[in-house]
Amino acid sequence: MITIQKHDVTNWLMIEYLAASHAVNEKLRLFERKYAQTWEAFSQELTASSDEDFTRWDDYIEWKAYIKTANDLATKMKEVKRGNFEIA
């Protein structure tokens, strides 16, 4: 039998979440560079426009999903740092 300490699992989870967070944040930066604006400005501009630009709408959906993923990862990292997880 192998014994694994909770702090080792914490470190492993943090490494996994940090790597995923880095990849997601890079995607968010790509969108900000592509449109030379923040998500908030892009979203407001797109939803206020009467023009149908499917490429921009596709980017809107993808950008929004990356923001949700980034927020979810941040929440998971906070919980792991607090030790709020169980090992099954």
Per-residue pLDDT of 26-58, as tens digits, reads 999 999 999 999 999 999 999 999 888 999 999
**pLDDT at residue 34 in the model:** 98
What global pTM score does this model have? 0.88
**DSSP classification of residue 71:** H
Contacts of 29 (CB under 8 A, 6+ apart): none
